[in-house]
Amino acid sequence: MLHITSLPSRFGIGDLGPAAYRFADFLARTHQRLWQILPLGPVGYGASPYSSVSTFAGNPLLISPERLLAHGLLTEEDLADVPAFPAGRVDYDAVTEYKRQLLNTAVERFEANATSEDIRAFDIFCEQNADWLEDYALYAALKEAHGGAAWSDWPTPLALRASDALEAARRKHARALRQHKLWQHWFDQQWTALRDYCHHRNIQLFGDLPIYVAEDSADVWANQSLFHLDASGQPTVVAGVPPDDFSDTGQRWGNPLYRWDVMRERHYGWWRRRLAHILEQVDLVRIDHFRGLAAYWEIPADEATAINGRWVDGPGADLFATLQKGLGTLPVVAEDLGLITPDVVALRERFDFPGMAVLHFAFGDGPSSDYLPHNYTRNLVAYTGTHDNNTTRGWWSSDALSPSDRSFAREYLGLSHEQAPAVHWRCLRMLMASVADRTIFPLQDVLGRGAEARMNNPGDGGDNWTWRVAPGALNDDVAERLATLTRVYGRAPAHPD
């Protein structure tokens, strides 16, 4: 598991350029067949990929300047004066300011020098993606024109999508619309090239689909009848999870909830388009918070916490049966972590979706824990940890384990006190030796990084989503050790490249 933003690059953020191809080469060299990424959309507040302003659009910050240079859209001079970005993390504000200038320069050069073939390719992209691209480009242009304000704070005719107001906005902001469409075109070209490169090396891409979308997003603005909103566009109920052992007040996420009755009447067309779109980009997709499709926690929007919510039935099997009719067999992984009820298990098993197991969660219930490798089943994706967990070395060094749980974990892993610095390799070995069909390790665990390399700490407003791998970290020693484990446990391709 390595998100694109975490790749090394001299432009302050990982992108779809040379480092992504080098990482694909590393995966092929070490016999890996899955590269898991986080959601690819443009990030909103807090830079979280799980709070994007569009479920369809790609993040323009991931566009590679080197690949724009190779296509004549930038020059060496354009790339000569790169700011001194931090090497180990992403400074999103600085990166956004710098890369938008580069992308604007590329737009100007495209408009001045594009060939008829370039223009035709762009036109085809716009035609094929018009069902989401038109709304997204207009949303992005209007958000800029209104100083970044949420769409619900725009003038009422625009917020509520009066047809004459939208038409006037399209004329007024035509240049900005074209700019945002070009950025999406270039993202699509670069992503497609990387996907094809991975496929040629027998590497599948494993994507991630958040169950909900952000309130301030093109998705909600353009499809207001599909969400529980009042007449002014404000949510009436929002998403979250109820109080539990970890939080006395639960979690109030704030995403607007779906009008599943309207979705059903429309044969889940928006969800079908959403899933079809991501499956054009990746080979396998994890649905985050899968349990919310069986039943979800509904919180009145005027509540400050999640305490006074209620459980409401989700679309359940009807959603997936309808999606299968339109899309065929669904290559879906169900994120079924946490307190899972029988209806969630039944829904996952009915459609034969693999579930997940996280080794960090395995040591509190003794030998019977479903998250311990000796209890795994084949139809499972096993993780040391996910993007929301500490790194394995950070977890082991923290107080996350009680003394008794740590003692059991040490016995289970066969780990002496002297071997503690190698706990990450012991955990990787345990998962690879299991019967789980798929095993995923954050790259931080392959590299043995500590808590400083954690990708996200839920509920903490610190430097989440900023970690980047250092150039040269994927050295020969790491590659050989990972390749050896993969071969020993029969997880290498039968005929590796």
Q: Which residues form the catalytic set?
A: 288, 335, 388
Beta strands 237-241 and 295-300 are: antiparallel
Residue with tokens 């150039």: 471
Query: Distance (Å, rounded) from C-alpha 356 to C-alpha 337?
Result: 7
Question: If we measure between CA atoms, which residue out of 221, 218, 194, 222 comes closest to residue 207?
Answer: 194
| Closest among 321, 423, 434 to 375, alpha carbons compared | 434
Could you tell me which residues come within 8 angstroms of residue 43 by beta carbon, excluding any fewer than 6 positions away? 49, 51, 52, 53, 59, 61, 92, 465
Which residues have CB under 8 Å from 249's CB, separation 6+? Answer: 243, 305, 306, 307
Question: Which amino acid is residue 390, in one-letter code?
Answer: N
CA distance 52 to 209: 11
Q: Which of 22, 20, 59 is nearest to 39 (CA)?
A: 59
How many Cβ atoms from other residues are within 10 Å of residue 205's Cβ? 19
| 280 backbone φψ class: left, alpha, beta (φ>0; ψ -120 to 50) | alpha
> How many CB atoms neighbour CB 5 within 10 A?
28
